[in-house]
Amino acid sequence: MIFRKLKVLSDDEVVKIVEGAFRILRTTGCRFEDEKCMDELESAGCDVDRSTMVVKFSEDVIFDALDNVPSVTPPDDLPKVRVASANKGMILDCKTKKMRPGTTEDARNVIKLCNSLDNITLASAGIVSSDVPVQAVEVFNIGLLMKYSEKLFNQWIYETENVPVVMEMAEVITGGSEELRGSKFLSYMLNSVSPLRFPPKQLAISRMYAERDLPIAVASMTQAGSVSPATPAGCLVLCAAELLAGLVWVRSLRTKTEVALGALTQVMQMRTGRQLYASPEQTLMFLGAHQIIRYFGYCSGNTSFETDSCDFDMQNGWEKALSGVMCWAAGCDMFGQAGFLFDGFSMEQLVLDNEALGMLSKVGEGVLVNDDTLALDVIKSVGPGGNFLGEKHTMAHARDAWRPSIFQRVSFEHWAKSGGMRIIAHAHDKVNEILSSKELSLQIPEDQAKAIDDIVARRVAAVAEKGAC
């Protein structure tokens, strides 16, 4: 079984990168653009320069954080595929091949799809609803997910003012502030801004989550060639340094917050300056960062399973497969982003990704070896030259094999006579089938749903009133 055996760095190379990160933090430091952080990090034993907000870290401070900040515990130790649904501003209409702004109807439909797709582990609303005031859309989407999602969900929060509103909604669901404290119902991702900088808004939001002992993912968003060194090794040094700096800050808060570490590494296309989502160098950095994060002793996540293609084509499938399969084989705890298509979100892509992940999940089951599956008596009974079609053993295992719901297994003649439909047409039909046959149903009591609607309406009205002033 290949699961958790794929590595791109030797043990010595991991140590060299980690030692480089320690050196950067000791001599160069990292900027925390929040006055409170200066007090927090100074009290933790860091060297703080308040005029520049640059903090330098000794080895003792870093080791203290590694020893005392607990890791998020993964649900189990099995080689499952844990994939999050993407969040994008635009959505693709596969019929017109045009991107358009997402709407609240789209958000509801994406949640409905996530509920129906077995291999999408973490749901999302998929898009940023353009028919909701932009400063309230995060609250609106989270309200929908709280009411209708059958799975845990993710929704990035960018507005500090939205956090207390989200917490209020979460308390409605969990039963109160103490019930919410320390739960895994909500979590937040603290992203560095490379090189070596944590912005004030994300620090403030992270502090609000940590004060309630809610999980935080510290993630590094390096981009090779622009805000990070052009070499994968240099990019990994910077990534490791930013993750450790964030970890020390979480330690300085002296909460019970559990932490996961993530690599949102990217590559800049040097010829055009465009951000790439699926280069092979990016996959190498995902894999290297995973080894380093495991070396630190933490759960690992990344943004693999993306594509630079604008179509549902060979490039799309291969790019997603390359990073997704390798990160799965390396044992990453979570990766994304299902439904991601370059520059936007696609419902058809979401169901295609779910299909591909179903195949990967089947591989993750491995080969079951026992007296029944070895089939020694059946082989002896059939003997040379026979066949196994009529055997009870064959009938007992006839439904063991993975069966596609979108991918086609027909002859070329049958395919041609049926009109030669492309895979995207089958995916579109699957989307329509789910949306027409499934209904969104409340996952919480009606009184809780009413309370959430009231909170969302209050926030939308406050944003609208502020905009009118």
- Reported as a single tens digit per residue, the pLDDT across 317-362 is 999 999 999 998 898 888 878 898 887 899 999 999 999 999 988 8
CATH code of the domain containing 203: 3.20.20.480
Mean pLDDT of 128-153: 93
Name the residue range of residue 45's domain.
1-72+184-298
- Indicate the DSSP class of residue 153: B
Which range, of 10-14, 261-265, 443-447, averages the lowest pLDDT?
261-265
pLDDT digits (tens, 9 = 90+) for 230-280: 999 999 999 999 999 999 999 999 999 999 999 988 899 988 988 898 999
The domain total for the chain is: 1
Q: What gap in Å lies between CA 452 and CA 442, rounded to an integer?
A: 12
Residue at 241 is within a domain? yes
pLDDT of residue 93: 87
- How many angstroms separate the Cα of 115 from the Cα of each of 108, 233, 263, 330, 434? 11, 40, 27, 27, 10
Question: Above pLDDT 90, what percent of the chain?
Answer: 78
Q: What gap in Å lies between CA 176 and CA 444, rounded to an integer?
A: 15
Provide the mean pLDDT of the chain.
92
pLDDT of residue 40: 98
pLDDT of residue 390: 93
pLDDT of residue 343: 78
pLDDT at 3 over 70: no
pLDDT at 188 over 70: yes
Longest dimension (CA), the chain: 86
Q: What gap in Å lies between CA 209 and CA 204, rounded to an integer?
A: 9
Are the C-beta atoms of 231 and 190 separated by less than 8 Å?
no
| Beta-sheet strand order (sheet of 340-341) | 98-101, 90-93, 344-345, 340-341
Mean pLDDT of 415-440: 93
pLDDT at 102 over 60: yes
Mean pLDDT of 189-207: 96
Mean pLDDT of 112-118: 94
pLDDT of residue 96: 84
Are the C-beta atoms of 127 and 102 separated by less than 8 Å?
yes
pLDDT of residue 334: 86
Are the C-beta atoms of 290 and 260 separated by less than 8 Å?
no
Residue at 17 is within a domain? yes
Pair of tokens at residue 433:
């089938």
Among candidates 140, 133, 220, which has minimal Cα distance to 465?
133
Q: Which phi and psi (to 5°) does residue 54 adopt? A: -90, 130
* Helix ranges (DSSP H) in 297-383: 314-330, 347-364, 371-374, 376-382
Q: Which amino acid is at 41?
A: L
Which range, of 76-85, 107-116, 240-249, 379-388, averages the lowest pLDDT?
76-85
Q: Which residues contact 113 (CB under 8 A, 6 or more apart)?
A: 120, 347, 350, 351, 431, 434, 435
pLDDT of residue 152: 87
Residue at 52 is within a domain? yes
Mean pLDDT of 278-288: 95
Residue at 45 is within a domain? yes
Residue at 38 is within a domain? yes
Confidence of residue 121 (pLDDT cuts 50, 70, 90): confident
Among candidates 298, 238, 225, 325, which has minimal Cα distance to 266?
225
Residue at 428 is within a domain? no
Q: What gap in Å lies between CA 67 and CA 100, rounded to an integer?
A: 48
Among candidates 353, 434, 468, which has minimal Cα distance to 111?
434
pLDDT digits (tens, 9 = 90+) for 219-229: 999 999 999 99
pLDDT at 292 over 70: yes
pLDDT of residue 468: 55
Q: What gap in Å lies between CA 348 and CA 421, rounded to an integer?
A: 14
Residue tagged 């520059």 (tokens): 343
Burial profile 278-299: b = 16 or more Cβ within 10 angstroms, e = fewer: bbebbbbbbbbbbbbbbebebb
Residue at 206 is within a domain? yes
Among candidates 209, 84, 206, 218, which has minimal Cα distance to 154?
84
Confidence of residue 210 (pLDDT cuts 50, 70, 90): very high
pLDDT digits (tens, 9 = 90+) for 41-88: 999 999 999 999 999 999 999 999 999 999 998 655 544 556 777 678
Q: What gap in Å lies between CA 10 and CA 70, rounded to an integer?
A: 26
Residue at 39 is within a domain? yes
pLDDT of residue 57: 98
